Amino acid sequence: MGLLIDGKWHDQWYDTKSTGGAFKRSESQFRNWITADGSAGPSGDGGFKAESGRYHLYVSLACPWAHRTLIFRQLKELEDHITVSAVHPDMLGEGWTFDTDAHGATGDSLFGSSHLHQIYTRADAEYTGRVTVPVLWDKAKATIVSNESAEIIRMFNSAFDGVTGNGDDYWPEELREPIEAVNARIYSTINNGVYKCGFATSQEAYDDAVVPLFDSLDWLEDLLSQHRYLLGERITEADWRLFTTLLRFDPVYHTHFKCNRKRLTDYPNLWAYTRELYQWPGVAETVGMQHIVRHYHYSHDTINPHRIIPINPVIGWMEPHGRG
Ligand SMILES: N[C@@H](CCC(=O)N[C@@H](CS)C(=O)NCC(=O)O)C(=O)O
């Protein structure tokens, strides 16, 4: 685990000393947008036109943020248009690697790099910051379009509609405001909330994260007793953003990140809802449960110093969900 400073790799864990033991996630730095006609998006530069075969996605199957992008690639039928490389689940001293000695770890099919940080320095030789997945790479301009999953899924949602003919819309105009509100709470208390619990290095920081986390899960349990999806009867990006965290809850966050007031399977509505999303056409094939369980327990030696991979519950993802 580490980061690049002026293009040089430094092996260091997250700094929580300056924040009273609290984990603060840093902002993603590559913020360009692919658009249908190549015009500039809400941030960054223009010139990234949606074209088949032009873009490549670097992911970790373990990572909930990268997982969102894989799900959107699947939902929006982009598999033949956007190529993918998956890193090895073990993220150790030199960060994410392209080692291939794990099922599903593909290596870097574009450049044959050994480490993900080489992709960042290819885009910016002086890059300073964390080396995270997902990364959306542009083969034409030889640079990173974006390393922000929340924005990559919005590009995938609509930019390639003319290429694929798939017009499914998970960010519909009329629901954008309520989606943003739900996303904000879920991001802060659940998606990032589990990390705040797990990476806290003081009791106070942990308490500050774990209470809102379970308050939000209770809130969602109630919401999902009233309607099928977060925003009503229509599935939206908010559901997919929540799904990748819920999927990892019992296998990883409950024990490894000490999110253990309840398990996902203790919430009847949330648990059935998660199964429905798991069973959505194409979604189960984006799930790399072995990478998920292995990555967290093996890579975070500050939390699990002996790197013992737990036996884990057997989870009935394919049990009938009974919703709708
Ligand atoms: N804001 C980013 C966060 C991505 C992120 O934190 N990915 C993790 C894996 S789950 C990572 O690569 N961490 C490496 C590090 O922090 O050094 C996004 O949503 O795209």
CA-based torsion, 89, 95, 97, 101: positive or negative: negative
26 burial via Cβ count (<10 Å: 0-12, 13-18, 19+): exposed
In the chain, alpha helices (H):
64-75, 117-123, 149-158, 161-164, 176-186, 193-199, 203-226, 237-247, 254-256, 268-278, 289-299
Does the Cβ of 74 fall within 6 Å of ligand 1? no
Q: What is the pLDDT of residue 167?
A: 98
**How far is the centre of ligand 1, averaged over its atoms, from the C-alpha of 2 (Å)?**
12
Q: Name 270's Cβ contacts closer than 8 Å, sequence gap at least 6.
A: 217, 220, 221, 224, 246, 264
Whether 191 lines ligand 1, by a CB cut-off of 6 Å, is no
CA dist 49 and 110 (Å) reads: 20
**Residues 101-119, buried b or exposed e (16+ Cβ, 10 A)?**
ebeebbbbeeeebebbbeb
Single-letter code of the amino acid located at 76: K
Q: Measuring CA to CA, which residue among 95, 132, 109, 120 is closest to residue 56?
A: 109
87 Cβ inside 6 Å of ligand 1: no
Q: How far is the CA of 255 from the centre of ligand 1 (A)?
A: 20
CA distance 323 to 229: 10
Query: ipTM > 0.90?
Result: yes
Assess whether pLDDT exceeds 90 at residue 1: no
Cβ contact 32:43 at 8 Å: yes
Q: Summarize pLDDT for 35-67 with one digit per residue, the tens.
A: 999 999 999 999 999 999 999 999 999 999 999
Per DSSP, 49 falls in state: B
Question: Which atom of ligand 1 lies at the shortest distance from residue 63's CA?
Answer: 10
Average pLDDT score over residue span 96-104: 98
pLDDT at 220: 98
Query: Can you say how many angstroms the Cα of residue 142 is from the centroid of all Cα atoms in its chain?
Result: 23
Note the pLDDT of residue 14.
Answer: 79
Task: Give the Cα separation of 115 and 117 in Å (integer).
Answer: 5
**Domains of the chain with CATH codes:** 3-164 (3.40.30.10), 173-287 (1.20.1050.10)
**Residue 136 Cα, ligand 1 centroid: separation in angstroms?**
13
Ligand 1 center to 4 CA (angstroms):
14
Active site residues: 63, 195
What are the Cα distances from residue 289, in Å, to 60, 64, 176, 239, 263? 11, 11, 31, 19, 17
Decide whether any atom of ligand 1 lies within 6 Å of the 144 Cβ.
no
- Kindly give the number of the ligand 1 atom that is closest to the alpha carbon of 66: 20
- Phi, psi (rounded to 5 degrees) for 108: -90, 105
Contact between 29 and 150 under an 8 Å Cβ cutoff? The reply is no
pLDDT higher than threshold 90 for residue 82:
yes
**Ligand 1 pocket member 148 (CB < 6 A):** yes
CB 147 within 8 A of CB 135: yes
pLDDT at 171: 98
Q: Closest Cα to atom 6, ligand 1: which residue?
A: 132
| Distance from residue 69's CA to the centre of ligand 1 (Å) | 13
Query: pLDDT above 90 covers what percent of the chain?
Result: 96
Query: Average pLDDT over the chain, rounded to whole?
Result: 97
pLDDT 10s digits, 130-174? 999 999 999 999 999 999 999 999 999 999 999 999 999 999 999
* Helical axes 149-158 vs 237-247, angle rounded to 10°: 130
Taken in order 323, 63, 182, 39, is the CA torsion positive or negative? negative
64 preceded by cis ω (within 30°)?
A: no
Ligand 1 pocket check for 97: Cβ under 6 Å: no
Averaged pLDDT for residues 209-236: 98
* pLDDT tens-digit readout, 14-39: 788 888 899 988 899 999 999 999 99
Q: Ligand 1 within 6 A of 56 CB?
A: no
Contact assessment for residue 56 and residue 64, using Cβ atoms and an 8 Å cutoff? no
Residues 301, 302, 306, 307: is their CA dihedral positive or negative? negative
Q: Which atom of ligand 1 is nearest to the CA of 2?
A: 17
User: Is-contact 41 155, C-beta < 8 A?
Assistant: yes
| pLDDT value, residue 271 | 98
